[in-house]
Amino acid sequence: MADLDNKPGATQGTMDVSHQKKTFAGFLRWAMWVTGLSLAVLIFLALANS
């Protein structure tokens, strides 16, 4: 059977998450652009009576 008590010690807060933070910031930037462009298109269509 597996020895479940022999786990490596993990220290909370020691992992380098700078790459994940950059990726998430890029995702948020992309999402804001898509949202803004979508709203701009919807407003244009509403004003153009399409």
Question: pTM (2 decimals)?
Answer: 0.65
Distance between CA atoms of 8 and 43, rounded to whole angstroms? 56
Burial class (CB in 10 A: 0-12, 13-18, 19+), 40: exposed
pLDDT of the residue at 6: 72
| pLDDT tens readout for residues 35-50 | 999 999 999 999 998 6
DSSP state of 18: H
Query: What percentage of the chain reaches a pLDDT higher than 70?
Result: 86
The whole-chain average pLDDT of the chain stands at 89
**pLDDT higher than 90, residue 21:** yes
Backbone angles phi, psi at 33, to 5 degrees: -65, -45
Distance between CA atoms of 43 and 50, rounded to whole angstroms? 11
**pLDDT higher than 80, residue 1:** no
